[in-house]
Structure formats: C-alpha cells, structure tokens
Structure 1
C-alpha cells in the first residue's frame, strides 16, 4: 500500500494526493480501452473497433512517454518517471518490439507504491496484457 499520511481534523489538505478524486472513472475507461486494444475485442466499447482502440491507446502512451522528467512537485517525481516508462512499454508492445510476457514483466516492476501514489493504469494494463496472451495477471 502507499505510504499513508496521518490525517487529523486540523491536517491541512495541501498536497497533490489530497486533490485526487476517490473514484477512478478514468481508470474504468482505460480498462475498456486496453481490453479492446490488446485483445482484439470489438464489443467492449460500442462504436469503436480494436484498431481504433489501439490508435487511442498508442496516443495515450505517447502522452505518458512525453511527460517532462522534471518540473512536477517533488513528491510526484518517482511516479512521473514510472509513468514515462509505462508509456514506453505500451508503445513497445503495440509496435511488436516486446512480447506480451516481456511487457507484463516490465509493467509489474511499476505495480508498486511511489510514496503516497499508485499508478492505477499499471494493473489495468497488466490485466489486458494477460488476457491477450493467456499469462497470469498480477
């Protein structure tokens, strides 16, 4: 689990983590996109075929890969660097430079806390890769 900050009634809510929503609706949308893109499922997202889902996932991975290596609040540095690497892993998988098993192992290295943060995209992507290749999901 991520490191938990001890909260009291008078604890100032002045950290990035304090502004994050409790529900990860974007994570649910990513799950549908990754499932459709990586498993050639044309039914997960109505009106979107697997090729379009792969294009959208590639664009999202490119955004992650293009994150600046500096300039974020220091508490986000490690998570931002990991997200850059996750973007590269997804791109490599979509381009066929790594096998699904290799991508799964590489993603698993990022399925851990970064201070108070977890990258919610990592287990989602790992599950989609596992579904594609039949390997065990973490």
Structure 2
C-alpha cells in the first residue's frame, strides 16, 4: 500500500489504530467501467483530483442545518437536556459546514441542507437520478 500511495494511486488514504485504509483511483475506474456510479464521501482536498473529465463527478455538498433549525428540532423532540457540550458541538458543526462551503463551493454542483435525514436522502437520490438522464454542463477542457 505504501508503494501505491507513493505512486499516487489513492484518491485519499489514512490510518486508524495501526491499520491503513484508502480509496484507490482504480477502484473508482472499475466501478465506472461496469456502468455503475461510485458514491463517495471524501475530504475536500480530494475534489481537485475528482473534478476531471475522467471521473466527471456530480459533487453534492450536504450542508449542516442552521443553528435555528437544529434548535427548533431539539425543542420539538425534547432532546435538549441543557447540555452545553451538545450546543458547542452543534455550533462547531454549523461553523465547519460554513467554512467548507466558503472554501470549496466552486467545486459543488449542488448543495442540500440536511434539515431532515430522510428528506436529504430523498433529495440525494433524486439528484443522482436526474444527473443520469439530464444533459449537464461541463468545463470545455473536459471536451478538448
């Protein structure tokens, strides 16, 4: 695996508890060669590698809900136990989401705000279906 990483054969990689893991570019190519769609959850830095004619991705940013929506959801579900750690975590989540959008939005084809997980999944499925049957604009450099 180390040799493959050195040869830039991985989209991204890491290690956890001494075990290495990663996503090989050839694996994505093999999936596409069988007329299937690779659905990936990647770090933002990987978008630069994916956004090419070879992979022709549809990049969907799933944004954190606004703090107002999160707080309203907690109040409606009585999940707010007065836990400040939970509030800080939610604030960090929305702040990180906003930073990702600010720095990488030029890569995004679409943004879905994750106010409700079931609705987000429905929207994502609809996007995938539409992307397959609707003509898409692509950068001219992908053609020539």
State TM-score, norm by structure 2.
0.29
- The structure that is strand-richer by fraction is 2
Larger Rg: 2
State TM-score, norm by structure 1.
0.30
